[in-house]
Amino acid sequence: MKKIKNICIAVLSAIAFTACETDFKNENRPAEDQVLTSKVGLLSISVGMTQHFATSTLSPIVEVPGLSTRELGNTLTYVTPAELVLGGTLLNGENAGLNRLWPRLLKGKGMAESILANVNTIEMDPGTKAGLSAYAKWFKAMTLGYLVQNFEQAPINNNVDGQALFSSRADVLAECIQLLESAKSDLAANPASDEFLAFIPDLNLDNLLNAFLARYHLFAGNYSEAITAANNVDLEATSEWMYDGVSNKNPIWSFAVNESPDTKPQDNFGLIGTNIPEIGDGRIAFYLASVDESETEFGMHNVDNALGFFSTESTPIPVFLPGEMLLIQAEAYAMTSDLPNAVKYLDMVREKTDDVYDVNAGLGKWTGDATDKAAIMDEIFKNRAIELFMSGMRLEDSRRIHPNLTIPTGGDYIIERNRNYYPYPYNERENNPNTPADPAI
């Protein structure tokens, strides 16, 4: 295992993810034929891309849209979070947060692509090959999904010369779904071997494929498929990003809890008006601890301390939450005008007391108008905002559920979201002539 760990450290710096070509000339790195043309090398890449995502990429996935959608407040006047808190046209491609989010996702995606490009050329146990292939397909689909949750278009495939072609959101989501279905076919033909599963012991791959299929079918408007996929998810099975608190620390704890952070959760999950959580909602105490800060320095929002999955440097973070699957079904039924089933699944989230991760609202049934689709969708948004707090989902949720929100170009500290999509990072625009025009807002 020490050999695998040493190789995966080198792989993190060797795999191409932007305009740079892969460079294997450093004497401290393994030769190319050791990494991309050996079973040990490909297994090490799977470990490396997992570690890189869990400790590095997940941080901007949560923080960047969290600041734009009021989940997080900025306690100091640093430029990067201040621009995200205000939004509008003030935010441009030079923002450092965007220049962390974009390349880190591309790096992980590039590592998955390197596995897929080489896995069928190497002799290994069929179950090990199937596991590697399926995991890389899931990983690529996941990184693509996070890209189009934040950017209007994205490159489906990385390009070693840095000039990747961009694809529309619809095409990217279709690719995500195709990758996940293909991964399921891989595992149906040859279940993942114990040899491969030893490298991802904390991830239930079969469950992840169904969960992310449900997510992306919902985003794509494939409602019956989303319901089917969500029904196939085992809500008792866990998949977590793991941390040891020493060399691998919880990245959300690192930016939102450790020492005196400039970014903290907003009071009431950043929700206002009728979306403020109900008294007695158990998710408040799970995620938030009140502090004596009456307002932040920038944006004038009260903030709390983060608990839940972010309370210590070694707390695991779930890859997805069971409540998301129930809320996917609620939304999909609502969008197909099956309102009784929509309310049924909504109530399953509100009344939940046995969540495998202890994310339990413990409330009564919803008392709103069960014949009003718009009211049901608003309640679904509210519960997604609370249940899936600090998971990087709220920008996508707000844009999807409240598409007609008018966003001031000059920015806003209170509105539900202050951007629809982000401008493309400066480095991408400078290096890739195929980068599209930035969205207006």
Residue 247 domain-assigned?
no
Q: Which pair of tokens denotes residue 422? A: 């982000």
Mean pLDDT of 160-164: 92
* CA distances in angstroms from 422 to 58, 66, 220, 384, 425, listed in the order given: 17, 13, 19, 22, 9
3-class secondary-structure state, position 241: strand
Given a contact cutoff of 8 angstroms between Cβ atoms, the answer to whether 399 and 68 are in contact is no
Residue 439 domain-assigned?
no
* pLDDT (tens digit per residue) in 106-137: 999 999 999 999 999 999 999 999 999 999 99
* pLDDT (tens digit per residue) in 19-49: 332 232 332 233 455 588 899 999 999 999 9
- Residue 262: which pLDDT band, with cuts at 50, 70 and 90? confident
The average confidence (pLDDT) of the chain is 92
Closest CA to 424 of 54, 158, 166, 58: 166
Residue 259 domain-assigned?
no
pTM: 0.94
Mean pLDDT of 391-412: 97
Residue 325 domain-assigned?
yes
> How many domains is the chain built from?
1
Tell whether the model's pLDDT for residue 167 goes beyond 90. yes
Q: Tell me, what's the pLDDT at 91?
A: 97
Tell whether the model's pLDDT for residue 416 goes beyond 70. yes
Q: Tell me, what's the pLDDT at 294?
A: 62
Contacts of 243 (CB under 8 A, 6+ apart): 54, 55, 249, 250, 313, 314, 315, 316, 317
428 burial type by CB count under 10 A (0-12 exposed, 13-18 middle, 19+ buried):
buried
303 residue type, one letter: V
Closest CA to 265 of 288, 284, 297, 286: 288
For 273-372, where are the alpha helices, taking DSSP H only?
Answer: 282-287, 322-335, 339-350
* CA distances in angstroms from 47 to 98, 157, 354, listed in the order given: 25, 21, 32
Residue 246 domain-assigned?
no
Give me the sign of the Cα torsion angle 37, 39, 45, 46: positive
Provide the CATH number for the domain around residue 69.
1.25.40.390
Q: Which residue has the tokens 């839940």?
A: 308
Q: How far apart are CA 122 and CA 196, in angstroms?
A: 14
**Which one is predicted more confidently, 10 or 156?**
156
Mean pLDDT of 44-61: 97
Q: Tell me, what's the pLDDT at 96?
A: 97
- Residue 55: which pLDDT band, with cuts at 50, 70 and 90? very high
Tell whether the model's pLDDT for residue 154 goes beyond 50. yes
* pLDDT (tens digit per residue) in 60-85: 999 999 999 999 998 887 899 999 99
Residue 69 domain-assigned?
yes
Tell whether the model's pLDDT for residue 6 goes beyond 60. no
Given a contact cutoff of 8 angstroms between Cβ atoms, the answer to whether 435 and 429 are in contact is yes
Residue 265 domain-assigned?
no
Closest CA to 151 of 165, 163, 132, 169: 169
Tell whether the model's pLDDT for residue 1 goes beyond 70. no
Mean pLDDT of 419-439: 97
* CA distances in angstroms from 132 to 61, 98, 199, listed in the order given: 24, 30, 10
Mean pLDDT of 371-383: 98
Given a contact cutoff of 8 angstroms between Cβ atoms, the answer to whether 101 and 150 are in contact is yes
Tell whether the model's pLDDT for residue 367 goes beyond 70. yes
Q: How far apart are CA 66 and CA 263, in angstroms?
A: 10
**Which one is predicted more confidently, 189 or 17?**
189
Residue 260 domain-assigned?
no
* CA distances in angstroms from 272 to 71, 172, 181, 415, listed in the order given: 11, 33, 39, 9
Domain hosting residue 69, numbered range: 2-237+270-431
Q: Tell me, what's the pLDDT at 260?
A: 86
Q: How far apart are CA 399 and CA 338, in angstroms?
A: 22
Mean pLDDT of 169-190: 99
Q: Tell me, what's the pLDDT at 22?
A: 29
